[in-house]
Amino acid sequence: MNSPRSFKKVDLMEPTIPSFTESLRQASPYLADHRDKTLVLYWPSDMIADPAKLQSLARDCVLLNSLGLKLVITLGAGAWLNQAYRDAGVTWQCHQNTRITGPEHLPLLESTVGRVRARVESAITQASAEHHLPGALVSGNWVVAKPKGIIDGIDFQHTGSVRKINRAALSQTLQAGQMVLITPLAYSLSGEAFNLNTMEQAFAISELLEADKLMLFQASQELKHLPKAIKRSELTAQPISERLQTLIQRHGKGLKRVHLIADNQPDALLTELFSRDGAGTLIYTDRYHQLRPAQAEDIPGLMRLIQPLEAAGILVSRSPEQLEQNLSDFWVMEIDQHLIGCAALHSIDAHNAELSCLAVEPGYQDQGLGQELLNEIEQQAHKKGYQHLWLLTTHTHHWFEENGFDASDPEALPAPRKNLYNAQRNSKVLVKPIQTRT
């Protein structure tokens, strides 16, 4: 993770900043991609209490709203409630890391949540006015509460959980271009007030709306040992709080991507959304990268991937014209419209095919992506009825042998490929049997 930085707001309109045009170019694919996408944000109470952090978040949310993203903002209020209860001399208890809210806590709960909401509304209004952008923020009784009940013999009283969410009203508000604000205060069908955990609400709303992204601000020290991306199936092996792991697993089927971003970086939200590598940790339940057949617009990206390997003598040189001619043989792997890997399946004859040009961008190696590309090529060879998959390599024969290829000899190559064998490269010949279709 990056080291903590001060919350000095960068003026993106300053034309003398050298990196501005390059940053804009990198962000441009995401501007169109994120339009009309639903984003649920969790703001922890500590960030709302910090004027600089709050104002930075407000500006960024107003900007995102103006760019066509549909925003649901859920507000934490734990730190505010702690202070309010201490100032009033009111004590409280917790069970299973959850605050028990009694009748004596309700007046302070309602007034404190009201202050937090007013603080956020004020920041959004100011940010909208400063940048002359629309920034309507709407709060309402979107969430219907129910009592959390009695657990381990402990009555949680006015601490509640989500009973249901008014999806139609939420969707209508978002479709109108307005931001939705969710607070910890929610009411039951009988009108009783309940204190709800807003992170739990964020997960429930994300699942119901099938949000494209759920973005959670977390303490930076909790993220510094996490990788950039984590598969949900591998989550338990990571140093993530039990509560967060439970929420992710509980709502996993309805969540596409969960982003954990540090609460001490003022530009983390925009960097996570508008740069390829992001600023935090992505927990993905959909396919983070896409594997698909190559298209004509992929040729520049293919050239970028293979040219360093050609220069090193690992791959045979190919011109853009040669790539275009054989484009239908290629499969590519991409992340957010950026090619990170490729491989090709060339037909030799009716029974034999050749694997070539398997490459993964250096920054994405050692993540099993080469294996995934190889598996795809083998599946395609199987579908097309080939009996043997051949390859020629000068550097990576051990890896292919570990993946089921056997050493062979140039003389054993099928005649059409043997005639093209370049003895000067002295490539090793490997072959793998492919089960034919029945």
The pLDDT, as a whole number, for residue 246 is 85
The pLDDT, as a whole number, for residue 253 is 64
Strands (E), 12-104: 38-43, 70-75, 93-95, 98-100
The pLDDT, as a whole number, for residue 15 is 42
d(CA 27, CA 162): 37
The pLDDT, as a whole number, for residue 288 is 63
pLDDT tens string 379-434 = 899 999 999 999 999 888 888 988 889 999 999 999 999 888 888 888 899 999 98
| Domain covering 32-211, topology | Carbamate kinase (3.40.1160)
The pLDDT, as a whole number, for residue 252 is 63
pLDDT tens string 294-303 = 999 999 999 9
pLDDT tens string 406-415 = 999 999 999 9
d(CA 230, CA 233): 8
Equal CATH topology for 32-211 and 290-433? no
Contacts 24+ apart (CB under 8 A), 313-316: 313/394, 314/394, 314/395, 314/396, 315/356, 315/357, 315/359, 316/422, 316/425
Which residues lie closer than 8 Å to 297 by C-beta, 6 or more apart? none
Q: What is the CA radius of gyration of the chain?
A: 27
The pLDDT, as a whole number, for residue 285 is 64
302 to 60, 191, 332, 414: CA distances (angstroms)? 35, 61, 8, 27
The pLDDT, as a whole number, for residue 424 is 85
Indicate the pTM of the whole model.
Answer: 0.67
Q: Which residues of the chain have pLDDT under 50?
A: 1-18, 286, 436-438
The pLDDT, as a whole number, for residue 226 is 85
Do 220 and 44 touch, CB atoms closer than 8 A? no
Closest CA to 98 of 242, 254, 262, 252: 242
CATH of 290-433, one of 3.40.630.30, 3.40.50.280, 3.20.20.70, 3.40.50.300: 3.40.630.30
Report the alpha-carbon angle 166-197-239, nearest 5: 120
How is the chain split into domains, by residue range? Answer: 32-211, 290-433
The pLDDT, as a whole number, for residue 16 is 43
